[in-house]
């Protein structure tokens, strides 16, 4: 195996670019002996590879490069941002549509936090956007129990240290006070673990609801809870900028690989949406029958379908006598008999 020390790219970066995992996870896979190059297992990520090298993970060839893609996901509360949870809690990846590519989360939202979560198929992009040097602003809407003043929130602009952990400058605005609750807009750039909750606890507030509404230039907007929206390639390229796209090693010219399952309109790539809808709207195209119309027209019932039950008019219903049976209405004679038996059992006063 040729040791390419100055050509190509680092092996962990190439694996991450293939969308199998993040670069850090790829390094752990290499240390565990799961990665081979040109038929030989490697034990260190300090190796550069080129397109001529044959890379395999767990004996399977590395997938070909796919176009760098980014998805906006409205994460509900109660889901863990991980691929598998030791405690058996539901994860975001178990809730995503099955026709999406293998995705990596850019940062995390904890179990009880909801709102915007960025997902990508490119491990290099995930790493680039998570770096502190990227410093994209994350904006949250917070409902908290307790009271606070705008002066206290303004003091967070210089940063704060809580339990020995230093947090950078924070933009916080008191939006509304309602009984014992307050609504605050909270904006941070570092995104340390439980930063919002820890800082507000430091101010004597208990967070009741935490919603991330934006991450850098991308907004939650009107995306419904649990829904996914993909960013068009052109928009993604423009928002990242040349410098950040180059640092991430993003590839906007590679093909889009669709999964076997036919994607829905919500998960189809934005550059490909509207084709089938346009065909359905072409002049002269017949509109599909709704389920009720299909039943009434007999479509799909075949020759052996059940005959329709005759619908009686209100006039016929008035004089229609039900068939005698278990649940039939008792006749007048039966009702007279029941009335007489009831009177005989009634005690005299």
Kindly list the catalytic residues: 110
Instruction: Provide the pairing of β-strand 160-162 with 181-188.
Output: unpaired
Q: At what angle do helices 23-31 and 123-130 cross, to 10 degrees?
A: 120
**Sequential DSSP letters for 79-109:** -BSSS--TT---BHHHHS-TTSPP-EEES--
Instruction: Find the Cα–Cα–Cα–Cα dihedral 15, 18, 22, 23, rounded to 10°.
Output: 30
Burial environment of residue 321 by CB neighbours within 10 A (0 to 12, 13 to 18, 19 or more): exposed
Cα–Cα distance measured from residue 293 to residue 300, given in angstroms and rounded to the nearest whole number: 11
End-to-end CA distance of the chain: 111
Q: Distance of alpha carbon 111 from its chain centroid, rounded?
A: 14
Cα–Cα distance measured from residue 219 to residue 199, given in angstroms and rounded to the nearest whole number: 24
- Two tokens, residue 267: 């998960």
């Amino acid at each position: 195996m040729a040791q390419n020390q100055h050509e190509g790219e680092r092996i962990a970066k190439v694996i991450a670019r293939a969308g199998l995992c993040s670069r850090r996870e790829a390094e752990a896979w290499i240390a565990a002996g799961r990665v081979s190059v040109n038929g030989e297992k490697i034990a260190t990520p300090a190796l550069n590879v080129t397109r001529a090298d044959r890379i395999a993970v767990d004996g399977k060839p590395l997938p070909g490069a796919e176009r760098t893609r980014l998805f906006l996901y409205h994460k509900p509360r109660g889901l863990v941002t991980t691929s598998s949870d030791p405690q058996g809690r539901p994860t975001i990846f178990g809730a995503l549509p099955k026709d999406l590519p293998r995705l990596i989360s850019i940062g995390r939202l904890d179990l009880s936090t909801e709102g915007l979560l960025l997902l990508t198929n490119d491990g290099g992009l995930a790493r680039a956007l998570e770096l502190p040097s990227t410093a994209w602003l994350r904006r949250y809407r917070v409902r908290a129990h307790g009271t606070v003043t705008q002066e206290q929130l303004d003091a967070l602009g210089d940063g704060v240290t809580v339990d020995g952990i230093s947090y950078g400058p924070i933009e916080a605005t008191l939006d509304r006070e309602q009984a014992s609750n307050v609504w605050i807009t909270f904006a941070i750039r570092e995104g340390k673990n439980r930063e919002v909750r820890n800082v507000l606890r430091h101010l004597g507030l208990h967070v009741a609801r935490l919603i991330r509404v934006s991450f850098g230039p991308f907004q939650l907007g009107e995306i419904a809870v649990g829904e996914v929206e993909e960013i068009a390639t052109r928009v993604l390229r423009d928002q990242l900028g040349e410098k950040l796209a180059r640092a991430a090693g993003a590839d906007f010219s590679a093909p889009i690989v669709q999964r076997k399952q036919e994607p829905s309109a919500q998960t189809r790539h934005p550059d490909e949406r509207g084709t089938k809808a346009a065909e359905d709207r072409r002049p002269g195209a017949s509109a599909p029958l709704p389920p009720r119309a299909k039943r009434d027209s007999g479509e799909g019932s075949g020759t052996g379908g059940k005959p329709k039950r005759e619908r009686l008019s209100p006039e016929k219903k008035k004089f229609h006598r039900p068939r005698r049976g278990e649940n039939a209405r008792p006749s007048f004679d039966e009702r007279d008999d029941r009335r007489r038996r009831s009177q005989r059992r009634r005690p005299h006063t």
